[in-house]
Structure formats: C-alpha cells, structure tokens
Amino acid sequence: MTTLALAPVLTTTAASAITSTTATSGGNITSDGGSAVTVRGVCWGTTTNPTTAGSKTSDASGSGSFTSAITGLTPGVTYYIRAYATNSIGTAYGNEVTAATTAVLPVLTTTAASAITSSTATSGGNISSDGGSQHAAFAGAPPRILQQQAQKLQMLLAQAVLRVRLRD
C-alpha cells in the first residue's frame, strides 16, 4: 500500500521582542505530511496573508518548534506574519499573527530666537528625521504634497518651540 504525502501542518508563534526594526516569531510544525520538511521559516508583509514570494526567513528544515528573527522592519508599521513549511507537496502556512513596530521620535532642531521684542520673536527649525514612521494619510501622495506637509509641520513645530521659550 502506498501512502500519499500531504502538506505540512503548522502554527505560527505570537510575535515578541518587538522593536522599531525587528521582531521575533516562529512556528511549530506538528506534522510533515509524510514528506520531510525541506525549508521552514516565517514570512511577513504590511498586508494580510503574506507569502514566501515576499519577505521571509529560512530557518533550516525538519518538524517541531523553531524561532525566526525578523529584521529590516520600518518603525511605526503593523506587520502580518505567518510561519511556513515546505515539503515535496508544496508550501503550507500557519495562522496569521500581527506585530506593530515601535515608533521612533522625530529629530528637531531649532534656531536661536532673533528680533526679540516684548511680544514677538523670530525663530525657525529643521526636522532632520521623521523617525521613519509611515503615515497612512500621506501614503501614495505626490512628492509635492509631501513636501508641503513637511513644511507645514516644520512651521508648526518651530512655532510651538518659540511659544514655550517665550513663556519661560
């Protein structure tokens, strides 16, 4: 009697040790389907149901539990993660879990106040890093719109810093 192989059966481990650019996940392969697992790991992306066609790890072979280090993530973004296992039948995926990377604070410098009077002063500032966060409101916006929004943000931040300095 010949036994036919099946796809592997596996689950995805909850994401942990999440930072602004890394996370840890993995999986548990409870059945190889009757054919050896030749590669296993996790795949991830910013939309649901990520596959091995996108970002992935390759964490050896075989059944059982494994851990994967996920790197190269963007701060302030939610990622969808699935464990995968490949045998002679094909690739199977575990359940989907999510991980939201932590945001990084923007870097802002201000210029010294000048033309100071009893009620006004002139100052400015520069945003040298937005912290790497991706804001959905501007996703896909033309560069001109993004530049205008960045200029508005720079003005608002500079005005806020100036108000605080004048109060002190």
**Residue 159 vs residue 65, higher pLDDT:** 65
Does 9-100 carry CATH code 2.60.40.10? yes
> How confident is the model at residue 142, as a pLDDT?
56
**Residue 4 vs residue 133, higher pLDDT:** 4
**Helix, strand, coil distribution of the chain in percent, nearest 5:** 15, 40, 45
The string of pLDDT tens digits covering residues 62-115 is 999 999 999 999 988 999 999 999 999 999 999 999 999 988 777 777 777 778
DSSP calls for 131-149: TT---GGGTT--HHHHHHH
Domains of the chain, residue spans:
9-100, 107-167
Average pLDDT for residues 124-143, to the nearest whole number?
60
pTM: 0.69
> How confident is the model at residue 106, as a pLDDT?
72
Residue whose pair of structure tokens reads 């996790």 in the numeric block: 42
